[in-house]
Structures are given as structure tokens and as C-alpha cells.
Structure 1
Amino acid sequence: MERRSRSVERRHRTWSYKCKEFFRQFIAFMFSNIGIIGLVVGYTIAGSFMFIALEKDAYKSRLEEVRKIRNKTADTLWSVTCCDVFEEPMWKNIVHTELLNFQNGIVDEVLNHGYEGEKASTNRWSFSGSFLYSLSVITTIGYGNVAPRTEWGKLATIVYAIAGMPLFLLYLSNIGDILAKSFKWIYAKCHGFQGCSKCLAKYPENYPYPNGEQEQEGSQEDEGDIETEYSEEDEWSSDPGNDPQTITVPITLCLAIMVGYVCSGALLFSKWENWVFLDASYFCFISLSTIGFGDIVPKDKEGTSFKGVELSFIFCSMYLMLGMALIAMCFNLMQEEVVHKVRTCGLVLKRIILCRR
């Protein structure tokens, strides 16, 4: 009996240990680079279905309400015509009052209930439109052209943003760091950083003494000079400048990458949305900088199929996710370059002060 109980306990402990180990590895994977990308995409997709369920019926109800107002106005005008009202002032007064009521009803639906027309009401909360809305929430862009109208939709947006914004910031931090390291490696390979002379000019903080100063001080302290020969391999391995991760990328190159990405996106949006190139560039910059005025956004166009609208929203979402990661990469590279320049200036000033003493 004791042996059986012990074996059961061991099995239970082994099973619990395996479960704990599985959850530990699962959490570690989800917070890895690939896992974070999957989390962001999955979280945005889940938000899309949630907002479709909460807001799509609200737009349909608004559409029905506008149709009721329009039909009521038409019936009233027809009844006035059937009553044989031949006096022009009386007829105009009745029609004017009815048209004013119709106008006020439509304005109230637009301003207070978010009515945007029959076509917009059917496509605004499609999957791609909801995906773009969810992405604009967690990225803090917030175009404002689409907003929740129901109470549950507003509450869901608050909770969704509270959980989604830190997740997206973690995505930008990790993916931006990976892209920065990869770009630095490519930059180092393309320029072929070799030789200590380049490293001395590029990284003076790693060589605190000018040429000859260290040897002179050593000769004063020690009576004999010790000569040490280094091979080229030792020089390469000991040189910190030959490590791709110690190389800094020029700020001008980072700015050129960001400008190029904005211009390429502007070119694509100008063709896809039939925008002027300046308006497309304005939209790309406003979106990637998370300003998001919402005055220019991808939307339904006359003669565009429902599938074309879906592809437009999906392309915009992909452009934003990749672009914001690229912007984070450029900011990381520029930060390293600025820190390197400041340290170099500090070392130069320190040498000048020591020389004057």
C-alpha cells in the first residue's frame, strides 16, 4: 500500500511538474520575439470580431431609423398633395415645416448617432475595417473617422486599449531592437569595418590615449621597455570596433530610411486610393507619427467593390505595423549614434583639459 501511494504521489508530482514546465515554456515563448508578434496580431484579430459583434447591429439600426424618417417625410408630402391644397402659401408652409423636420432628423442621426450613409454603414464595421480600428486603438493613432456608438462598444474600447497599448509598446521595443541589430550587422558587412586605424577614429573612447602617450608614460614608470608582438588575428579579435554591435549607424541614413518608407507608402496609397501624392505623404506621416487627425483615411470609393475596400484596409494595417517597427528601429539607431557622439565630445574635452594642465 505504501509503495502504491508513493508511486501515485510521484506520478502526481511528475504531472504537476510537467504542467508547470509547459506553462513556463509557453509563457516564455509568448513573450519571445515571434510570440509577441503573434500576440499583437491575435489580439487585434480578437478585437476585430469583438467590435463587429458590438457595433455592426448598431449601424444597421441607424440605417433603419433614417429610412423611417425618409419614408415618413414622403408620406406626409403625398398626403398634403392628396388634400388638394391649392393655396400656394399654405402648401409651401406645410412642405417647409416637413422638410425642416426631415433635415433636423438626418442631422441628429449624423451628429449624435454616427450615421454615415448606407454604403458606409455596411462596410465600416467589416472585418478589415474593424481590424484597422483595433490597430488604431492600441497604436494610439485614433483616426476618429470610426468610433463606437453603443455603450458596450465604448466600454470595450477602454478595456481593450488599457490591455493593448502596453502589448504594442512591448512589440515595438523588441522588434525595433531586433531590426536595429540586424541592420547594424548588414551595415557593418557592407562597409567592411577592418583595421585598427578606422576603429581608433570611430571609437576613441576605447583608446583613451593619443598615439604615443601611453608608451611615453609607460617608459617613465618602467625602466625597461617590453615589446609585445601581436598577430593580425589577435588584433582583430581584441578590437572592439570589429564587433558589428559596437558600430553606430549615421543619423542621416536613419532619416533617409524613414523618408523613403513614407514616400514609398505615399506612392502606393496615391495609386490605391486615387490621392494626390502630397495628401498620401501627409497621411503616411500622420499615421506613423501616431498623430492621426483622421481628415484623410482609406475609405469607400465610388466604383470600388467590397473586396477592394477590404484589401485597402488590410494593406493599411500591414503598412502601419511594419512602419512603426521600422520607426522604432531608426530611433534606436539614432539614440546610439547620439550617445556615441556625446561620449566622444566628452572624451575630447577631457583630453583638452588634461593637456592644458
Structure 2
Amino acid sequence: MCRAQGDAVAGRRWWRLPGTLLLLLAYVGYLLLGSTAFWALEGPAERHSAQQLLQDKWELLGNYTCLKGPALERLIQAYKSGLTLQGNTTSLGRWDFVGSFFFSISAITTIGYGNLSPNTVSAQIFCIFFALFGIPLNLILLNRIGHLMLSGVQRCAKRLGEKLHWTCALVTGLLLFLLLPPFLFSVIEGWTYEEGFYYSFVTLSTIGFGDYVIGMNPDLTYPSWYKNLVSVWILFGMAWLALVINLCITLLENSSDLCQCGKKKSKELEQELMDCNKNSKQIMPNQPNFLLWPGYWPSGCGGSCRYDTS
């Protein structure tokens, strides 16, 4: 019977792994769909803004002695939106396919850096429905990946022992998702290690301040694989950090239960002593201040109290 149950559990595990792969494929397909839509909706608007920015530049250079307010405001607005001038060209790439894919990741993971947002009405409406269905899909996938990581930790526990498996999981996760990625950001972005570590935690915890965002320096040329690698890192790093946060919640809840249990036991002991002292006063009315000496042992809370004053 135990063997049959073991075979059933193994069968469920084998079924669950393809299910996770199918869910991951659906997740990636959903991201590709969103990336294509944002690319098609925001790409033309970005190119139009770039042409307008170049035109405003030449107007300012031709009329710098009589600077016009509207032209300057358009330049400032373009700079805020992320467009920068590079000679006779502008820095595009925020809404190309790779940039749209990274925006899709930041949207459904609820990171929301804030440095990039859709400007056209059609893209804004699409973003609403994209996030509406994408956020639950992201949570389901993170939960499934978290369970797979947890099962891997449990398999390691059989080899390393119960005391070491959580240590192994925490150290491995720290290396892969928090300690090593800052080196990559230092090399490609030019950040310090501390800035890269700060960005890693702010991203994986979905705080997403937006003060540090990858791939946004117009003076740098980024590899084509860079944002895609960071997107994969975000997905698995969020699943690992969710396990760590759940572990912290469990520890805090257990410590709270222990404190409440200790308080409850202390109150019960205090009430027991008060009841026994009351019973002793009833037995010996001429001794109002009867003390519980070490030789005195109450025989239960409800029964008579025996004592030894020797």
C-alpha cells in the first residue's frame, strides 16, 4: 500500500513538471504578445517624438538669441521621457522589441520602475488589460517555481540533513540572485557594487523606486542578451525571495505563538498559586500570611493543599 502511495506521489511529480513547463511557455508567450503590442503601439510615437526633438534642436540653434518658450518646453519634456540627442540623431530603443519585453516584465511583476510608461491612449488601455490578466499569471508561475525550489531544497535536505538544507538554500539564493548580479551591473552599467546590490534588492522585492534602472544610459551600448538575461533573473529571483519572506513570516509567527504560550502558562501558574494560597488560608485561618516554602507542594489546583513546615 505504501508503495502504491509512493508511486502515486511520483506520478503527480512527473505530471507537475510538464505542467510547470507549459505554464512557463504560456507565461513567455504572454510576454511576447505584450511586447509585440507595446512595440507596435508605442514605437511610431517614439519615432515621431524623436523627429520632433531634432526639429526643435535646430530651431533653437538657429534662433538661440531669441529662445522660444514652447520649443524649450518640448525639449525638456522629451528629455523627461527619455529621449536624448546624440549629434544628428536621437537615442531610440526604449520601445523596441527588447525594451517592450522588459517593460512587460516590469508591469506584470508589479515592479513598476516609473521611468518608462505608455504615452498613447491605445497603449495605456492595452496595458490595463495586459496587467489585469498578467499579474495573476505571474503570481501562479512564481508560486509554482517556488514549490519546485522548495522540493529541490527538500531533496538536498535528505543528503545534507535538516539543519543544513535551509542554510544551503539561503546561501545559494544569495549568491545567484543578490551577491553575484551586482558584479554584472558594475561591468555593464558602470555602477558600484553597492549600487548594484541596492538595485537587485529593490527590483526583486518589487519596491521599484526607479532611481536605478538597467539599460537606460544613452552613452553606453548594451549587449542584445542583457535585458533578456535580467528578465530571467527577475523571474527566478522573485520566486526565491518570496520563499525567504515566507520563511521570515513563519519564524515571526512562531515566535509570537511562543510568547503568547509563555504568557498563558505564566498566568495559569499565577492563578494556580493564588488558588492554593486561598485554600491554605481556609485550612489555617490563624495564619493569614502563609508562605509557600520549598517543602510545600500543592496537590493540584482544585484539591486540598498539603504542606511541610519542617
The answer, yes or no, to whether TM exceeds 0.5 is yes
Distance apart, 1:316 and its partner CA: 1.4
1-structure distance, mates of 2:106, 2:209: 12
Judged with a 3 Å threshold, the aligned counterparts in structure 2 of structure 1 residues 302 and 136 are, in CA distance, closer, same or farther, namely: closer
* Structure 2 partner of 1:145: 115
Report the Cα distance in structure 2 between the residues aligned to 1:154 and 1:148, rounded to whole angstroms.
Answer: 6
Q: Is the 8 A contact 2:157 2:164 kept in 1?
A: no
Secondary structure class of the residue paired with 1:123: coil
- Answer whether contact 2:84 2:218 (CA < 8 A) is retained: no
User: Map of 1:84-95 to 2, 5 A cutoff?
Assistant: 95=64
Query: 1:318 is matched with which residue?
Result: 232
Residue-by-residue CA offset, 1:269-294 (whole Å, 9 max, x unaligned): 11222210111011001000101111
- Is 1:47–2:34 an aligned residue pair? yes
CA distance in 2, matches of 1:351, 1:70: 77
**2:24 maps to which residue?**
37
Judging changes above 3 Å, is the alpha-carbon distance between structure 1 residues 302 and 58 closer, same or farther for their aligned structure 2 residues?
Answer: closer
**Retained in 2: the 8 A contact 1:143–1:292?**
yes
61, 80, 83: which one aligns with 1:116: 83
The RMSD of aligned alpha carbons is 3.5
The one-letter code matched in structure 2 to 1:286 is V
Q: How far did residue 172 of structure 1 move?
A: 1.2
Give the alignment's TM-score, normalised by structure 2.
0.69
The answer to whether the Cα contact below 8 Å between 1:249 and 1:337 also exists between their aligned partners in 2 is no
Amino acid at match of 1:288: L
Partner of 1:267: 183
Matched positions, count: 253
Mapped pair 1:283 → 2:199? yes
Using the TM superposition, give the Cα deviation of residue 102 of structure 1 relative to its aligned residue in structure 2, in angstroms.
3.7
1:301 CA drift (Å): 4.4
Q: String of CA shifts for 1:72-100, please: whole Å, max 9, x gaps.
A: 3445x4xxxxxxxxxxxxxxxxx543355
Distance 1:134 1:164 in 2: 9
2:275 aligns to what? none
**CA distance in 1: counterparts of 2:17 and 2:101, whole angstroms:** 21
Contact 1:139 1:165 in 2 (8 A): yes
Q: Which has the higher contact order (CA 8 A, sep 6+)?
A: 1
CA distance in 2, matches of 1:327, 1:339: 18
- Aligned partner of 1:154 in structure 2 is 124
User: CA 1:72/1:289 → structure 2, altered by over 3 Å: closer, same or farther?
Assistant: same
Change (3 A) 1:101 1:164: closer
- Could you tell me how far apart the structure 2 residues matched to 1:150 and 1:322 are? 32
Unaligned regions of 5+ residues in structure 1, if any? Answer: 1-27, 78-94, 194-246
Tell me which residue corresponds to 2:243. 329
Q: For residues 1-357 of structure 1, what are the structure 2 equivalents within 5 Å?
A: 32-75=19-62, 77=63, 95-98=64-67, 100=69, 102-111=71-80, 114=81, 116-118=83-85, 121-191=91-161, 250=166, 256-260=171-175, 261-301=177-217, 304-305=220-221, 308-334=222-248
Aligned pair in 2 of structure 1 residues 333, 122: CA closer, same or farther (>3 Å)? same
8 Å Cα contact 1:128/1:313 also seen in 2: yes
CA contact (8 A) 2:91 2:218 kept: no
In structure 1, give the amino acid aligned to 2:72: Q
Inter-CA distance 345–183: structure 2 relative to 1 (3 Å threshold):
farther
Cα gap change, 1:35 to 1:342, in 2 (>3 Å):
farther
Cα offset, 1:151, TM superposition: 0.7
Cα distance in 1 for residues equivalent to 2:22 and 2:189: 33
SS of match in other structure, 2:214: coil
Q: Contact conserved, 1:254 with 1:330, CA < 8 A, in 2?
A: no
Distance 1:96 1:301 in 2: 31
**Partner SS for 1:310:** coil
Q: State the alpha-carbon separation in 2 of the partners of residues 310 and 149 from structure 1.
A: 25
Give 1:248 deviation, angstroms: 9.7
Q: CA 1:312 to 1:180, structure 2 compared with 1: closer, same or farther past 3 Å? A: same
The one-letter code sitting in structure 2 at the alignment partner of 1:158 is I
**d(CA) in 1 for partners of 2:79 and 2:219?**
24
Taking the aligned partners of 2:191 and 2:136, their CA distance within structure 1 comes to 34
- Show structure 2 runs of 5+ residues with no match: 1-14, 273-297, 301-310
Distance 1:345 1:293 in 2: 36
Distance 2:101 2:65 in 1: 44
Q: Which amino acid aligns with 1:330?
A: V
Q: Is the 8 A contact 2:85 2:91 kept in 1?
A: yes
State the alpha-carbon separation in 1 of the partners of residues 26 and 178 from structure 2: 26
Q: 1:144 to 1:51 in 2, by over 3 A?
A: same
User: 2:201 corresponds to which letter in structure 1?
Assistant: F
